[in-house]
Amino acid sequence: MTLTRLLSAFVARHWRAYASAAVMLATIAVLTVWIPRQVGHLVDGLAQGRLQGPDLWMQLGLLLGAGLSIYLLRVGWRLQLFAAAYRLGRELRTRLYERMTLQGPAFFQAQRSGDLMALATNDIDAVEMAAGEALLAAFDGSLTLILVLSMMTLGVDWRLGLAALVPFPLMALAFWFISNHVHLAWKDSLARFSSLNQHAQESLAGVRTLRALGLIPRAGRQFHELADHAGEAAFRAQRWEAAYEPAVGMALTAATVIALGLGGWLVARQELSIGQLTSFTMYLGQLIWPMFAAGWVLSLLERGRAAWSRLQPVLDAPLSLQDGGRLALPTDVPLHLQDLGFSYPGSERAALGGIDLSLSPGRTLGIVGPTGAGKSTLIKLLLRQFEPTEGQVLLGQLPLVEVRLEALRRGLAWVPQEPFLFSASIAENIALARPDASREAIEQVARLAAVHEDIAALPLGYETLVGERGVTLSGGQRQRVAIARALLSEAPLLMLDDALSAVDTGTETQILAHLRELREAHPERGLVVVSHRLSAVMEADEIVVLKAGRIVERGTHDTLLAAGGWYAAQWRYQQLEASLDAA
């Protein structure tokens, strides 16, 4: 869809607002072109002594009334037109936000967050201006131009009107040349602003890392350089926009010289009155706005086109994860993974292959293995963040893709190794999935996650604001708050993706004991534990060992120890490490 089609469809949907604004603008244009003609009559009447006393005051009153009406109508069309244009900005931002929330991780791996933020701000602002100020200036300028030219040629003198138009084709050619450069300049400016936005976002998010490595000065220099480039690009675009004004000025100056020269000759020949020449020169002055409006419209449209060319691919990008499911999530059937395989986009190496697993309701599955074995990838496939490239995931006999994504994600509580906390209170972060949860319920799950005492020790307790991404909490506290949040959701399947990595072994033991009690109270709830600590999975009903994306060992804790493979060797190493730490 082009920008023209987008604006046309929007105007068609909000035609009442645009129609009322157009009526007011048309009235303004008529009054504007009537004023010079009325002034011409006043000049001729005064010169000939026909206009005096009450008639003179009445004519002056009409001019004053026309000026006041123009003022009120200008306020009216602004309220109508800009209110409609703001709706377009709101619609585009909502559409962009909703589209991004439906995309999977593959989409965000190909996009930069700074670019997406720039699209939601600068780029949509540019499209919004094209729908508001550009359409306004185009309509008002075109109507004023038609009326003024009509009055110049038909109302004053057609010879004078045609002669004054001679310079304008050259101005149109200059406009075409300038508008091409304006489009390219604004496209470059928007791209450079995105780069600046991206750098600022990354620097603020990683400010502690930059400080720890002493990179703050270098990051500042990079920001300064990007800001300079963005400023230069914006200045270059503004400079090309400023070129419209000299083109208008030269055309109007030439038209005025031609009009005064020919008009003076016609007055000398008594083929034109002084009042008519006065009206004509006033009309020439009124051509300034339509000419400037043409340049302003072209500038706004080119800026909008540049922004839309960046925004449209994101809005029209196919969903990296299709939601074709129609069914709710069944909670009383086993989960089967049949010959599951997966490769990340652009990678020739298989992240997973030949995975066969089953998990019945109320059972616990432990997943362990060396770094890069594919443990987290397996969890992402269960969450349908990615689709398997081989095999399938079944719920009973039902393929996972038949379940609605919303229903699936409400039925799965996932705690990643690096949980995300919002800039809100601890209570609000825990109650994210259940905003109506009572304080008692929030505190109960916090106790299960062994974080209640830590929260109670804070000055504001559960009302403590955690800051962006939970910056005021330690890594272990963030993980336990996320576990409490998952427990409060009451999802039938809880998945801990190395979610105990930042807590000590004593706290880990306490949390696992609470989870065991919870499963005994709710035997229908399943648990998947991914961990590099084997102590976290030793009580699982089944443990699988992944290596290079394949299952190399499986069984219970005791059978895997007896097998003497990777699991047994890793267990002995971790036990030795724990004994040394205790000593």
Asked if residue 365 is part of any domain, the answer here is: yes
Asked if residue 55 is part of any domain, the answer here is: no
Residue that finishes a domain, picked among 275, 299, 315: 315
Nearest to 327 by CA among 397, 377, 380: 397
Determine the pLDDT at residue 268. 72
Asked if residue 1 is part of any domain, the answer here is: no
| CA distances for 186 relative to 150, 304, 305, 312, 546, angstroms | 36, 9, 9, 16, 51
Q: What is the CATH number of the domain that holds 505?
A: 3.40.50.300
Answer yes or no: do 303 and 350 share one domain: no
Nearest to 433 by CA among 488, 379, 479: 488
Residue that finishes a domain, picked among 297, 315, 333: 315
Domain extent for 371:
346-421+471-582
Determine the pLDDT at residue 559. 93
Answer yes or no: do 386 and 284 share one domain: no
Q: How many other CB atoms sit within 10 Å of the CB of residue 546? A: 24
Q: How many other CB atoms sit within 10 Å of the CB of residue 439? A: 10
Q: What is the CATH number of the domain that holds 206?
A: 1.20.1560.10
The reported pTM is: 0.70
Answer yes or no: do 272 and 169 share one domain: yes
Answer yes or no: do 263 and 390 share one domain: no
Asked if residue 237 is part of any domain, the answer here is: yes
Answer yes or no: do 281 and 351 share one domain: no
CB 567 within 8 A of CB 547: no
Answer yes or no: do 204 and 99 share one domain: yes
Answer yes or no: do 99 and 179 share one domain: yes
Asked if residue 440 is part of any domain, the answer here is: no
Domain count, the chain: 2
Distance CA 165, CA 302 (A): 26
Phi, psi (rounded to 5 degrees) for 460: -105, 5
Dihedral sign (CA 61, 62, 67, 68): positive
Q: How many other CB atoms sit within 10 Å of the CB of residue 518? A: 15
Determine the pLDDT at residue 367. 92
Answer yes or no: do 170 and 261 share one domain: yes
Helix axes 216-242, 288-315, angle to 10 degrees: 140
Which tokens sit at 404? Answer: 């609605």
Determine the pLDDT at residue 41. 66
Asked if residue 359 is part of any domain, the answer here is: yes
141 by Cβ neighbours in 10 Å (0-12 / 13-18 / 19+) ranks as buried
Asked if residue 227 is part of any domain, the answer here is: yes
Positions in the chain short of pLDDT 70: 1, 36-37, 40-41, 43-53, 55-56, 59, 151, 154-156, 161, 272-273, 276, 278-279, 286, 289, 581-583
Answer yes or no: do 386 and 527 share one domain: yes
Transcribe 355-391 into DSSP letters.
EEEEE-TT-EEEEE-STTSSHHHHHHHHTTSS--SEE
Answer yes or no: do 266 and 409 share one domain: no
Answer yes or no: do 303 and 360 share one domain: no
Answer yes or no: do 278 and 351 share one domain: no
Determine the pLDDT at residue 45. 65
Phi, psi (rounded to 5 degrees) for 422: -90, 160
Determine the pLDDT at residue 165. 74
